[in-house]
Amino acid sequence: MKFEGNVMVFGPPMSGKVILARNLMLKDIQDGYSGIYVTANDTAEDVLDWFKEFGVEIKVIDCISKSVDPNLKDSEDIKRCSSPIDLMCVSATLSRFLGDNYRKEKKSIVVFDTISTFLMYTNLQTVYRFLHFTTRRIKSMNAKALYIVQEGMHDERTIATLKQIFNGVIEVKCNDKRFLRFVSSSRKTDWIEFKIDGKRVII
């Protein structure tokens, strides 16, 4: 599944949103993109290990580990922000990583895992401003990004406000099977079934 620009990945818990986003990132990296993963859920090491199983290296902005162990250090591939509330750190680091790739004439693919966690720590207005700046920055760098949002954690006003920022939404649903579709202001695809086989998504 191909996508461009800034796209929300939206669905309920256990529907496969995260593994879908990682697989979309993996496909783009294999096509020549550089990956940048912003995590507010898993540790940087867990994210790196997931991608290393496919022989892929990425940069990780870790917003969770330092709140557990303040003594953790950064590395060439990992930048640790103090907590999910430290959006200035996330923004500055992301801009640096994007800029480095842009100067090397490499396109970037970014995953935010998850925007819902940022919203748990700070208010909608602050997250909206952060996303408004971030989406513009990503567009200016000829990059693209996926922003995971958890269905059921936020009210309808919050979801509607967030959707205004993005070029479209990959909606995911799950009952006994998993389905996805892409929705934007100009088009809506049919629901497509996908399966999860280990760490791979099969569409």
152 within a domain of the structure (yes/no): yes
Q: What amino acid is encoded at 34 in this protein? A: S
Domain assignment present for residue 1? The answer is no
Q: Which CATH number does the domain housing residue 64 bear?
A: 3.40.50.300
Alpha helices in 141-190 (DSSP H): 156-163
Question: What pLDDT does residue 1 have?
Answer: 80
Whether 117 is in a domain gets the answer yes
Is residue 44 included in any domain, yes or no?
A: yes
Domain-located, residue 189:
yes
What is the number of domains present in the chain? 1
Asked whether residue 48 is assigned to any structural domain, the reply reads: yes
Burial class (CB in 10 A: 0-12, 13-18, 19+), 14: exposed
Cβ atoms of 19 and 159 closer than 8 Å:
no
Give the model's pLDDT for residue 15. 95
Residue 113 has a pLDDT of: 97
Q: What is the pLDDT of residues 94-143, one digit of tens each?
A: 999 999 999 999 999 999 999 999 999 999 999 999 999 999 999 999 99
Is residue 45 in a domain? yes
> What is the span of the domain harbouring residue 17?
6-202
Q: What is the C-alpha to C-alpha distance for residues 51 and 53, in angstroms, rounded to an integer?
A: 5
Please check whether residue 115 lies inside any domain of the structure. yes
**CA atoms of 181 and 169, how far apart (whole Å):** 8
Q: What integer pLDDT is reported at residue 2 of this predicted model?
A: 85
Which residue ranges of the chain lie beneath pLDDT 70? none
Look at residue 103 in the predicted model and tell me its pLDDT.
96
